[in-house]
Structure 1
């Protein structure tokens, strides 16, 4: 199946604008995924409970809170947070060119590919070849999903890689680990170098390595299927959450003059609750704190557990 682009962008290269398509470079769906099941074989669904009342909390009544001190929050509505986000832009502005090896791979986040869009073939090839010949990569700013990100555009054989980078405060320093530096002898270093030379290869071939654990899991799954160790559980109406109504049932109910309860996922949302103002506190040094999690029970999401 041909790859499908996830965005159309315009890569700004000096006075040249290169229309490109953005594609994901990695595939996470290859993982073997398991569902959580109850003892009777039915799927379990997640609900969120108020710590204070013990009752299920609906999404429409939730806001997001930042915990600046233990059990003390400042609260934001969805509208307030939306106003703080960077506006999405299809323009990716190159701001610098640096040696490719100047970027420590520990700063690499998610990788994408970019390919030329209509009328973008020549400037795309020009940028690719110029970067390859110079030994440099481009640093650019990219506004995406409410946040401005820094990306590296580097040449590869056949195209350009669009590598999202982490910010400095997102990467821990090795200095924080206080690793002891121990002196080694010249003979010890010489033997270590010999071992490295024996195992040295010119290139990394990812196809030469396989996910052995995944192979074992898939083989075990096949054995259980062949041995008829299969649980079949008929779906039932959800309990404690929004009731799911079959389309045909809703149509029949309409013909009879009845009313079917709407699916929670399609029901109109209530207005967000009035923002809660944190109580005044004495000025003190702020410390990093975890964000209060936001959750939903309006249409409980399927819970998946990864191996």
Structure 2
């Protein structure tokens, strides 16, 4: 399905104007939502109640107000609030070019994709290539959806990304946390560097991560639909056990366990014990692939899925 643009805009710097189209860079992950019901399965709806009279207040009877002191408000009509809103602008006005690395990602907010519009291909490509060569990105002002934004326009391999940035007052600083300054021993640092090197990757591959909680909830929903009982699975304990472990010993143990894990991944599992670490989700995917594969010689019947075994208990 082809992407649909959100708006037609103009990227402006100096006397150069580039017609561009705006696209959302992300999409909803189809978050699983549950409805509020009575125990009889009937939907319920939310209502607003007056704190003073305890009566239901309809939306048509409500106004917005700002609390300037405890229980003291100034009221605004919809017309007054509308007059205060920032009008949307079709111009993204570049005000400066700065080194890309000078913007801390903690300031990143929502991201959009920018593509050239009609007659914008040449200046769009020129700006993108110039920023790549200079190692700089653009800082710009943009009014969108009744709010003034500071945005970053940065080059990537295939084009330009527009990134909304947070204002300084919206970002907290680590300096406010009064973190204790601790001296790190050279031997400890060396072991930590070895551990980092052992599990380092050259690139970030987002496809290697999956929302496991979402898959677990979807599986539970399927079981509910099928009329099965859901049995709580054991979760690993996140809290500390309280056992005091020497830092050097912990680093050495981590190095050893990572090396063992790497060796185990390189070896092909041949028996049940080697397959015991496979998650139910991975096992289900293997069963699904096996069903699609061509018929082969009969094999021993697979063990029951973990979820069914738990359900019988």
TM-score, normalization: structure 2? 0.71
Query: What pairs with 1:172-187 in structure 2 (closer than 5 Å)?
Result: 172-187=172-187
* Residue 21 of structure 1 pairs with residue 14 of structure 2: no
Distance 1:171 1:49 in 2: 35
* Residue 193 of structure 1 pairs with residue 193 of structure 2: yes
Aligned to 1:40: 40
Query: What pairs with 1:243-262 in structure 2 (closer than 5 Å)?
Result: none
Distance 1:210 1:7 in 2: 32
Aligned to 2:121: 121
Distance 1:182 1:68 in 2: 43
Equivalent residue of 2:57, what SS?
coil
Equivalent residue of 1:124, what SS?
helix
Equivalent residue of 1:101, what SS?
helix
Instruction: Tell me how far 1:218 sits from its aligned partner.
Output: 1.2
Query: Is the alpha carbon distance of 1:207 and 1:72 closer, same or farther for their aligned partners in structure 2, counting shifts above 3 Å?
Result: same
Aligned to 1:252: none
Runs of 5+ consecutive residues of structure 1 not aligned to the other structure = 230-307
Aligned to 1:89: 89
Runs of 5+ consecutive residues of structure 2 not aligned to the other structure = 230-313
Aligned to 1:79: 79
Following TM superposition, where does structure 1 have runs of at least 4 consecutive aligned residues deviating by more than 6 angstroms? none
TM-score, normalization: structure 1? 0.72
Instruction: Tell me how far 1:228 sits from its aligned partner.
Output: 7.9
**In the comparison of the two structures, how many residue pairs are matched?**
229
Aligned to 1:213: 213
Distance 1:8 1:41 in 2: 46
Equivalent residue of 2:132, what SS?
helix
Q: Which structure has more helix as a fraction of its residues?
A: 2
Distance 2:29 2:192 in 1: 39
Equivalent residue of 2:56, what SS?
coil
Equivalent residue of 1:54, what SS?
coil
Distance 1:130 1:222 in 2: 52
Larger radius of gyration: 2
Instruction: Tell me how far 1:106 sits from its aligned partner.
Output: 0.5
Distance 1:210 1:228 in 2: 25
Equivalent residue of 1:33, what SS?
coil
* Residue 148 of structure 1 pairs with residue 129 of structure 2: no
Aligned to 2:225: 225
Could you give the per-residue CA deviations for residues 178-228 of structure 1, whole angstroms, max 9, x where no partner exists?
111111111111111111111111110000111111111111112222338
Instruction: Tell me how far 1:29 sits from its aligned partner.
Output: 4.1
* Residue 8 of structure 1 pairs with residue 2 of structure 2: no
Distance 1:173 1:220 in 2: 41
Instruction: Tell me how far 1:120 sits from its aligned partner.
Output: 1.2
Query: What pairs with 1:258-269 in structure 2 (closer than 5 Å)?
Result: none
**Larger relative CO (CA 8 A, sep 6+): 1 or 2?**
1
Aligned to 1:254: none
Instruction: Tell me how far 1:62 sits from its aligned partner.
Output: 1.6
Q: Aligned Cα RMSD in Å?
A: 1.4
